[in-house]
Copies of this chain bind each other. A is one copy, B any other.
């Protein structure tokens, strides 16, 4: 693998032919020719630091030099040149910059060895839990944007330093950062004014920001270290998706594939080698931690699986790390809704059925009906964990939005759901969703379960693979340019479809034969057992 991939990586060993008195071409120009032969195109530029180091490096080992190449708006640039006799380590840091979590992976750019992975909460959460709150903060305070920039960069700097130290390396050897995130997060990270991202007509300052020196972002990595930020298609379809599409190869496939990233926004792209069509819509806050009263991110103590015994009505909970329950995360919410519905505790309009819930039904502090998900005994706080009708209504909107987005997207290119060979469910909590539950509540199409694939953190995967591929930025740019973005805000059918999708599983129940069969089976079991009683 090494011998195959190194020629296309960012760390390149080249042999520069010596000059002669007949051909007294400069060192820089001979290096450019050698790189053009190796790459197919010459560098777009060379850093001053690299040029200053070149003459001595060239003459140390018969013209053999190691070049640290970096992405450039037009092609690639030479950031550093070392003698092949004593090249220093060249490390790369891949970053998935999420609104809630920041995940980073450290790798050796020459050997392509992965050196470690770590994550941390996005410290911007101290300013505001979501994108909107942070953008308002950047707008409202003179130093607001700089403050948010420092927080994000500080977290990335710490992740880089900690990972380097754990691997016995130095942060000063990190020479390339490949970062993917949503459009708002990447703009805040770059210190670019985010004000217009959330205001009609929703224009980001940059679709494809130029690679920028790490020092300009106060990242304490190697001199000349570049930060490549994956480009976005618009304010609501970010570079995290571009990284994901490249990672999954949607743009190269002959089969039709779909990538869905579920969060506050549902971001979806459908395509193959012929087309890529994308859209994003507010899926509502029901699936993200910190929004519903008891909602939490997927962390120890989060309820991530729920079953309800059809006969006893017992709630069977699973928490991450088998710890006392501290709240419920996205996958748990979907499971909860699915099993409330399957067991007749939630009606087709998404409302709690009081007589079926019995003692599980109570009221929250505002007098709103609420289900006791975890009893006081099961909870870490000693208080019961409640999921209110308001929380459920929020989920109903979310699942309806998701299904409507998928319908609209498929319809726009005239394909049936059955034509889709694979649906990759991405995002930090996407991996934990039980597709069967999601189908049951009508959130995603009623397709064979094998179609659904947990894709994991495709943003990080894509960002990480760029560290080993000099072709990846151009490929990403091609993906970006090929994506047709479907604007839902101007889609008139959307609201009609959305209303129909707010039912469980849908007003047109024939779309969900498996969900209905399942409900019948559960009801049958209950009935059967009742008869046995």
State the CA gap A390–B52 with chains docked (Å): 41
Binds B, one of A16-24, A371-379, A435-443: A16-24
Task: Tell me which residues across on chain B come within 8 A of A213, comparing CB atoms.
Answer: 48
Q: Is A292 an interface residue (CB 8 A)?
A: no
Residues of B within 8 A of A219 (CB): none
Q: Which of A169-197 contact B (CB under 8 A)?
A: 190-193, 195-196
Q: Is the CB–CB distance between A210 and B46 below 8 Å?
A: yes
- The answer to whether the Cβ of A216 comes within 8 Å of any Cβ in the partner chain is yes
Given contacts A193-B52, A200-B21, A216-B48, A28 and B490 within 8 Å (CB-CB): no
Bound Cα distance from A26 to B203, whole angstroms: 5
Residues of B within 8 A of A517 (CB): none
Let me know if B19 and A193 touch, CB within 8 A: no
Interface size for A (C-beta < 8 A) is 53
B205 touches A26 (CB 8 A): yes
The main secondary structure of chain A at its interface with chain B is loop
* CB <8 Å contact, A201 and B24: yes
A454 located at the interface, meaning its Cβ lies under 8 Å from any Cβ of chain B in the complex: no
Instruction: Tell me whether A510 is interfacial, beta carbon within 8 Å.
Output: no
Is A316 interfacial (CB 8 A cutoff)?
A: no
Does B21 lie within 8 Å of A205, measured CB to CB? no
A209 adjacent to B28 (CB under 8 Å): yes
Partner of A56, one of B26, B193, B490: B193
Q: For window 20-74 of chain A, which residues contact chain B by CB distance below 8 Å?
A: 20-22, 24-29, 43-48, 51-52, 54-56, 59, 72-74
CA distance A6 to B532 in the complex (A): 93
A205 B24 Cβ-Cβ under 8 A: no
- Residue of chain B at shortest CB distance from A59: B196
Interface residues in A235-274 (C-beta closer than 8 Å to B): 235
Which residues of chain B come closer than 8 Å to A52, judged between CB atoms?
190-193, 205
A478 to chain B, nearest CB (A): 15
With contacts A56-B193, A193-B52 taken as known, whether A487 is within 8 angstroms of B22 at the C-beta atoms is: yes
Residue A207 at the chain B interface, CB threshold 8 Å: yes
Contact (Cβ within 8 A) B55 A74: no
Bitwise interface map of A from 213 to 242 toward B, beta carbon under 8 Å scored 1, else 0: 100100000000000000010110000000
- Report the Cα distance A212→B46, complex, angstroms: 10
Instruction: Please tell me which one of the listed residues B20, B74, B208, B489 contacts residue A44 in the complex, with CB atoms under 8 A apart.
Output: B74
* A48 lies within 8 A of B212 (CB): yes
| Bound-state Cα–Cα, A444 to B351, Å | 103
A204 contacts partner chain B, Cβ-Cβ < 8 Å: yes
Contact for A45 among B55, B196, B210, B489, CB less than 8 A: B210
Decide: A205 and B54 in contact? CB cutoff 8 A.
yes
Say whether, besides A45-B72, A48-B210, A24 and B190 are in contact (CB < 8 Å): no
Write out, one digit per residue, whether chain A residues 416-443 have a CB within 8 A of any chain B CB (1) or not (0). Answer: 0000000000000000000000000000
Is A206 interfacial (CB-CB < 8 Å)?
Answer: yes
Nearest chain B CB to A494 CB, angstrom units? 14
For A74, list chain B residues within 8 Å (CB).
44-45, 74-75
Closest to A201 in B: B21
CB of A180 to closest CB in B, whole Å: 17
The contact sample of 29 A-B pairs, CB cut-off 8 A, is A19-B203, A21-B202, A22-B487, A24-B202, A24-B203, A24-B234, A24-B485, A25-B207, A26-B208, A26-B234, A28-B206, A28-B207, A28-B208, A29-B206, A29-B208, A44-B74, A45-B45, A45-B74, A47-B210, A51-B190, A51-B192, A51-B205, A51-B206, A51-B210, A52-B190, A55-B192, A55-B193, A55-B205, A74-B75
A binding-site residues for B, Cβ under 8 Å: 19-22, 24-29, 43-48, 51-52, 54-56, 59, 72-75, 190-193, 195-196, 200-210, 212-213, 216, 232, 234-235, 485, 487, 489-490
Nearest first, the 5 closest Cβ-Cβ pairs linking A and B are A26-B207, A28-B206, A21-B201, A19-B203, A45-B73
